[in-house]
Structure 1
Amino acid sequence: MADVTAPLIETRALARHFRIGGIFGRARLHAVDDLDLIIRPREILAVVGESGSGKSTIARLLAKVYEPTSGDILFRGRSLRDVRSRADLLDYRGQVPMVFQDPFSSLNPVHTIGYALDRGLALHRPKLSPSHREAAACQALDAVGLSPARQVLAKYPHEMSGGQRQRVGFAQALSYNPKLVLADEPVSMLDVSIRIGVLNLMARLCEEEGISFLYITHDIASARYVSHRVMVMYAGRVAESGPAEEVLHHPVHPYTRLLLSAVPDPRAPITITAADTGEPPRVVDPGAGCRFRWRCPLAIARCAEVTPPLAETARGHAAACHVTAPARHMAS
């Protein structure tokens, strides 16, 4: 019997840098630095942060679209550095597929939904016969609430709503029998009224099908709704991570508090709050120090000199802050 507590996928000191200024450029954009991430079976990990925080880069590293600058990724205990052949890569991407942000651009408008699902199954489950591929596609469509499935297979992308197209993306991933789905901002382009249905779908697939999710979002409210654990990213580094309820009800890092303060509360009285001030994150050759210090109201001299490590402040809850993390740790 499989150990459900063992990591399904994990990263060790993972980093990805991009060269700036052409092949002779010396500047480096630090998209992700020193990332230690763990996702276990039947778990939804939400990665939260503003644009440019490194969220999508993490997904592309896990999908082997990007190769790490340093560090390693292990899937079920095996390093992805050992995944080299085309067959191994297709097998891995079938177990760890992506669902993209734009449900329309991820589907070819000149082909039917059936063609899209059949093509993916032919690549990632090549041993299936055409009839079995059609059965697997219908089963996946039924699982995401698109019925009758055979009628959906005959449709073109433009004949479906945004929410339906996004469900097709989940069905395509689900048809591969995945272990982990990388969902990169899957609800950001949908109407608010449709988002809850897609989030409920993720939660149901996790609970009933045992599929884990890396849910990438800038919306911390939706992370609170659907995830088991939350990881807050800022400028390529983890600012805070831990159980969703703990992080979102007892935030430690000033950046997490800033994100939560921006979530509207219909029950709160109307007040005028101070706007976020300071410089945008510096990710090109950032050097040592906390990358949030230019915007942080609690910054001290040490913040400019030493990069704060992730320090545990409660069981499973860690934050990278010289000021608040030690204070919380001493208080507990």
Structure 2
Amino acid sequence: MTPPTLLETRGLTKHFKVGGGFSRRRLHAVDDVTMTIGRREILALVGESGSGKSTIARLLAQVYKPTGGEILFEGAPLSSMRGRRRQMAYRGDVPMVFQDPFSSLNPAYRVSHGILRGLKLHRPELARAARHEEAERVAEAVGLSAEILHRHPYELSGGQRQRVGFAQALAYRPKLILADEPVSMLDVSIRIGLMNIMTGLRDNDGVSILYITHDIASARYVSDRLMVMYGGHVMESGPTESVLTDPRHPYTRLLLSAVPDPRAPLDVAADTATTEPPPVINPVPGCRFRARCPLAVEECGRVTPELRVLGERHEVACHVA
């Protein structure tokens, strides 16, 4: 059953100017991405570094302004959002948890400072005492004791700092959390705790999550749906188990070949492991994975493949899938 749509993008595009002066070179970080995130859903966005994953998160967080396309939240386009009150409401509904837990907290203040400041900005109806009670509640919701609110960030481990990041987001009563590689800098032994927090936020608090990662194993553990990106394009998307047990795009198979799994037998040729970077500066039409693809045909160099449905909610952008 498909969950109701919370956020949707239509043809979302972001290009960056490369070089100075009158340079016409443009880096196509994200090109024509159409996606949906449902209520109470975790969508994992997977791909190599430079594939455009974090750019999408920053577009959704309104850090970047789109070059083209539209973002709709609860059916309303963000481009029509006017006034500070509406923008603050959206940022409270869609907060972001960053990759680096060591630099996302201000070392000069106690842990409680960021949570209380966020509550004052995004939930002004709460009195001072109620804000402190809510700070304790969200700390306990992510597996921290209330005592930790009185510590400084340098007194916390990496895992504790990242939990504080989720606590800050949860304090706003969000509808969607943008989690950009939230466990990549943590020891393997404590990653599972953070992933359990994400599934708990979905199951117990009804929060949707965009989980950005290059780790397919963790994506399989937490996500309901999976979207694979390469060179600013979406290569494949669908229910997580469908994509990982029956990968249709050669790039998805390449990613999975690095994570052997007996449930997903693969036959990826060794020559797909070349390090040819995707052509994202003033790219010409065609599949951006063609230089690394063992199945590439002549059409792949001329026509950019569009996503097409090959199964139940399973879409692939490939001419020969």
* Length-normalised TM-score, structure 2: 0.95
Q: Which stretch of structure 1 is more off in the superposition, 52-61 or 77-86?
A: 77-86
Aligned partner of 1:289 in structure 2 is 286
C-alpha separation between the residues in 1 aligned to 2:275 and 2:107?
43
Does the 8 Å CA contact 1:311/1:318 hold for their aligned counterparts? Answer: yes
What secondary structure is seen at the aligned counterpart in 2 of 1:11? Answer: strand
Match status 1:33 vs 2:31: yes
Q: Which stretch of structure 1 is more off in the superposition, 79-88 or 236-245?
A: 79-88
Aligned partner of 1:179 in structure 2 is 175
Does the 8 Å CA contact 1:278/1:294 hold for their aligned counterparts? Answer: no
1:158 to 142, 154, 158: 154
What secondary structure is seen at the aligned counterpart in 1 of 2:163? Answer: helix
Aligned partner of 1:109 in structure 2 is 107
2:203 to 204, 207, 214: 207
Percent of aligned positions that are identical: 63
Match status 1:91 vs 2:83: no
Aligned partner of 1:241 in structure 2 is 237
AA aligned to 2:193 is G
1:192 to 188, 191, 194: 188
Q: Please state how far the C-alpha of 1:266 moved relative to its aligned partner.
A: 9.4
1:263 to 239, 259, 262: 259
Q: Please state how far the C-alpha of 1:126 moved relative to its aligned partner.
A: 2.2
Q: Please state how far the C-alpha of 1:46 moved relative to its aligned partner.
A: 0.1
C-alpha separation between the residues in 1 aligned to 2:106 and 2:76?
34
Match status 1:169 vs 2:165: yes
C-alpha separation between the residues in 1 aligned to 2:177 and 2:4?
17
In the TM superposition, what are the counterparts of 1:114-125 in structure 2 within 5 Å?
114-125=112-123
What secondary structure is seen at the aligned counterpart in 2 of 1:8? Answer: strand
Does the 8 Å CA contact 2:245/2:263 hold for their aligned counterparts? Answer: no
C-alpha separation between the residues in 1 aligned to 2:245 and 2:183?
23
In the TM superposition, what are the counterparts of 1:308-323 in structure 2 within 5 Å?
308-323=305-320
Q: Which stretch of structure 1 is more off in the superposition, 133-142 or 289-298?
A: 133-142
Aligned partner of 2:12 in structure 1 is 14
Q: Please state how far the C-alpha of 1:84 moved relative to its aligned partner.
A: 3.0
1:226-268 CA-to-partner distances (Å, cap 9, x unmatched) read 1000000000000000000000000000000000000145999
Gap regions ≥5 residues in structure 1: 325-332
Runs of 4+ in 1 over 3 A off after TM superposition: 264-268
What secondary structure is seen at the aligned counterpart in 2 of 1:294? Answer: helix
C-alpha separation between the residues in 1 aligned to 2:154 and 2:262?
36
What secondary structure is seen at the aligned counterpart in 2 of 1:89? Answer: helix
1:263-320 CA-to-partner distances (Å, cap 9, x unmatched) read 145999xxxx836015111111111000000000111100000000101110100100
C-alpha separation between the residues in 2 aligned to 1:83 and 1:8?
16
What secondary structure is seen at the aligned counterpart in 1 of 2:292? Answer: coil
What secondary structure is seen at the aligned counterpart in 2 of 1:298? Answer: coil
Aligned partner of 1:301 in structure 2 is 298
C-alpha separation between the residues in 2 aligned to 1:44 and 1:308?
26
1:122-142 CA-to-partner distances (Å, cap 9, x unmatched) read 222222222111111111001
